[in-house]
Amino acid sequence: MEINGLYFTPNANHYLMGSEEIIRRIQDSTLSVKNLVTDDYFHSFTKPKINDKLEEHAVGEGPSLAAIFEDDKHLHTLINNTNETIEKAFELAWKYAESFEPFRQYYRDNENLDVEAVGKGEHVTESDVKFFAESLAEYKRQHEETTKIVGNMSVGMLLCDASKLKTKMLPSPQKCLEVRRFLYTF
């Protein structure tokens, strides 16, 4: 989380690139296997003897796996479905992240609070008890809500870890609450 917004690490692009990398490595592993059609061990299958006659070797060099990968509509559908699933998962995760918008907003407001000016009484007078009571209640509410943030939440196929968000946000209302309490004692 930054003051200007929330973000995911890794993000959807990293997941998509990782998916592409996995598929590329599987294809590279498959293509690295020696063509078995030309292997002498398999001649009994590729050049069979029928009635003591050697049959014509009709298979040539065998199929081109690279061409099969290029033409395999099922494989391309699988890849597209995987990418769409990742994109939908991140759409759900962003909807979940929107639930943190009020937290981000009060975090930004709290971070922009000029503690020294409040301490000098520039924002309020000492007699403004209502302001202090409202401030104390607000910061206490913020602190309680922040402590209720769930550290890890499964959102579709993603596990959203909000523990860093919680760790970053928790001191914000606590700091403001302590300043208000300190001022209230005078």
Tens of pLDDT along 149-164?
888 888 888 888 888 8
pLDDT at 88 over 90: yes
User: Averaged over 32-60, what is the pLDDT?
Assistant: 73
CA-derived radius of gyration, the chain: 32
Q: What angle do CA 33, 39, 41 make, to 5 degrees?
A: 120
Residue 138 near residue 180, CB atoms below 8 Å: no
Note the pTM of the prediction, 2 decimals. Answer: 0.65
pLDDT at 167 over 70: yes
pLDDT at 50 over 60: yes
pLDDT computed for residue 170 by the predictor: 75
The alpha carbon torsion through 114, 120, 123, 129 (nearest 10 deg) reads 120
Residue 93 near residue 159, CB atoms below 8 Å: no
Question: Which residues neighbour 181 within 8 Å (Cβ) at sequence distance 6 or greater?
Answer: 136
pLDDT computed for residue 108 by the predictor: 81
